[in-house]
Amino acid sequence: MASSTSFNPSNQNISMNSSTSFNPFAQNVTMNSSTSFNPFAQNITMFTPNGTQSYVQISDIDRWFYYAIRVAINYGVQVGACLVMLLVTLFLAGDSQRRKLVHNINVLSMVFGFIRAILQVIYFSSQWEEFYYFFTNNTAELTKSDFTTSIAGTVMPILMTLTVNVSLALQARAVCKLMTRKLYYAIFGLSCIILLFALAFRFTECVTNAMTIKSDSTYYNQDWITIVTLATQAISIWWFSGLLMWKLGWTIWTRKKMGWPNLKMLEFLMIMGGCTMIIPCKWLPYLFRMNSADLKSHLRRPRVCPP
């Protein structure tokens, strides 16, 4: 650090120089003072082994740091939630429930959700999230394990989406069996279309994200796939959950007209199911309009800030 007669420690420029035998992790930092300086708008210049420069701002480093903390906490909570629900489902289900197809699919969904969350957490302890690799987008030194874990993290959401939607579809089919044939087939056909759209966009996101991980590019120009994937998945869950809630409400209303007592359990299921649908989904339209990296945090490719 060079000093001067009138020195302002907050007024410094940061630069990193390369040498003939270059180690990108052993760069030197020199700080010089100037007259007018904003400490939060200074650039850090880094060099790759071939001499290419990469510029990073202090604000970009702050965003990268807080993003990693927020998303790691998020997926850590998902790991615990999936594990708890898996244990509850396994140990509290009766013998008759364990032999049903829906129960086994639900167990698979929680297993896939647990593995998915674990893979997402591992990403933040891999070399992808190290400072130099993240901001220079230099993947030459990354190991095969880093790539394999990241690609596996893009595949697991497909399996989870498939099992969750199939479980909801089977339950919706069961409650719609007593409808008229025309209404039943109309609902069944629309349900298949919604389910296929959700799976198709999730598969498209997986393929394009895996291709991006193996290449030297980023996922910025394909963000629309992520938004459409989340939208179709939300619509699918709304549709099947709505069918269940509508049929449950219709059953409560008809049985009350017939004078059936003791409908508290059905009313409780409908209220809790409605809250589960409405409260989380209330904020989804705002998330779709946000250009937030947190919304796309399951994409296993570094959010490299362009220079």
In a domain, 76, yes or no: no
Q: What is the mean pLDDT of residues 283-290?
A: 60
In a domain, 260, yes or no: yes
The string of DSSP letters for 281-294 reads HTTHHHHHH---GG
254 or 282, greater pLDDT = 254
State the Cα–Cα distance between residues 191 and 195, nearest whole angstrom.
Answer: 6
pLDDT range class, residue 111, cuts 50, 70, 90: very high
Model pLDDT for residues 119-175, shown as the tens digit of each residue: 888 888 888 888 887 777 777 777 888 888 888 888 888 999 899 888 888 888 877
**Is the confidence at residue 5, as pLDDT, over 50?**
no
Strand segments (E) across the chain: 12-16, 29-33, 43-47, 53-57
Amino acid at the residue 161: T
Which residues face 44 on adjacent strands? 14, 56
Which residues face 33 on adjacent strands? 12
In a domain, 30, yes or no: yes
Contacts of 87 (CB under 8 A, 6+ apart): none
How many domains does the structure of the chain reveal? Answer: 2
Q: What is the pTM of this model?
A: 0.72
Ordered alpha helix ranges (H), 18-100: 58-92, 95-98
Structural domain including 50 reads 12-55
150: three-class secondary structure by DSSP: helix
Model pLDDT for residues 194-232, shown as the tens digit of each residue: 999 999 999 998 888 888 888 766 676 777 888 888 888
Are the C-beta atoms of 42 and 57 separated by less than 8 Å? Answer: yes
In a domain, 286, yes or no: yes
State the Cα–Cα distance between residues 137 and 68, nearest whole angstrom.
Answer: 17
C-alpha radius of gyration, the chain, whole number = 26
In a domain, 144, yes or no: no
**CA angle, corner 161, sides to 160 and 167, nearest 5?**
90
In a domain, 21, yes or no: yes
State how beta strands 29-33 and 12-16 pair.
antiparallel
Are the C-beta atoms of 120 and 298 separated by less than 8 Å? Answer: yes
Model pLDDT for residues 43-75, shown as the tens digit of each residue: 888 777 777 777 788 888 888 888 888 888 888
pLDDT at site 307: 28
Are the C-beta atoms of 90 and 107 separated by less than 8 Å? Answer: yes
In a domain, 201, yes or no: yes
In a domain, 168, yes or no: no
Cα Dmax for the chain = 93
What is the overall mean pLDDT for the chain?
76
